[in-house]
Chain A
């Protein structure tokens, strides 16, 4: 038969997906992913137990960098580059620099957050083979889709079809690559 990306089972309850995924992992399946209309508690840990979350750390680093940058810009401006007597205030009026520092910090953090988030999701990526699954259209509405990809060593269509049906998948379909 022709190239396929994988096989999907469509469920109408999040619990079903979770159970199915748990079972498949126990059978040794690794290359699989679940597509749900809203975040399902613990699904990701279930699919990739070893993966750790880097984003918060990235954002924290960004915060530090942003703060440093913000304060430096202001010191450069008022102290190093062109020190001027402004209303008799000292050149390095650090209390006055705090606001700027704070805002720069937050801006950089959020920006890092957004871009980091997209990066870690491999977005933007306008095409993904899973879109070819005709059932996928409802994965963003009210269905829970579990997909085992063809690249999994122990990938075998009929076997998986049976497992999905056992866990109550209302539809099982192959996804063309």
Chain B
């Protein structure tokens, strides 16, 4: 075979790989990132097991940009009664006794120039699991999406498939059923203007 042609073909291949393959490699996407936490808190146990509602701990998710990390006292409302001597909960009791906050490690980290607002997503029928993945089944919280801008855009350009009835937003096990209203309908009902959602200023200020 002709050397010149082979060389040019190789050149092309390298370019394609560097653009389309390298960025989606796990090292770059950091998906399944699962840091150590002071307390091995399990959403699986609390949500799937006990059936707690997200808002029981993440109180400001409907009202504020920030969903809210529960204060120690929230943990203690139950754990002053049950598992009062469990070793894993020692840090919680410590914190409550000493008044020193727990130090959780952030799993979903957005850059400082990205302004994400939980409340509006909730209000427009975006379920928690749309971004947090199978959070209800996570023994230890791990990062589900790539959090790439292209990932955000995929939904901001075409929200319809990701919408659900408002009463299902906090249901981590929700599945679309034949009788759920179509995305188009919901979009109309929520007065969502998809064309405006990919404006840069929606997230970057």
Contact = CB atoms under 8 A, between A and B. Distances in A.
A124 B4 contact: yes
A68 B8 CA distance: 20
B5 A115 contact: yes
Interface in A117-135: 118-119, 122-125
A109 to B, nearest CB: 14
B-side interface size class? under 10
A115 B7 CA distance: 9
B30 interface: no
Interface string B1-42: 011110110000000000000000000000000000000000
A-side interface size class? 10 to 19
A131 to B, nearest CB: 17
Contacts, number: 19
> Chain A interface secondary structure, helix, strand, loop or mixed?
loop
B8 A124 contact: no
A155 B198 CA distance: 76
Scoring A84, A115, A123, A124 by chain B CB atoms within 10 A of each residue's CB, the highest score goes to: A115
Interface string A58-92: 00000000000000000000000010100000000
A119 B198 contact: no
Interface in B130-167: 153
B198 A82 contact: yes
Contacts of B5: 115, 119
A23 B3 CA distance: 35
B8 A115 contact: yes
B148 to A, nearest CB: 14
Nearest to B153: A82
A124 B6 CA distance: 11
A111 B4 CA distance: 11
Interface in A23-50: none
Contacts of A125: 3
Interface of A: 82, 84, 111, 115, 118-119, 122-125
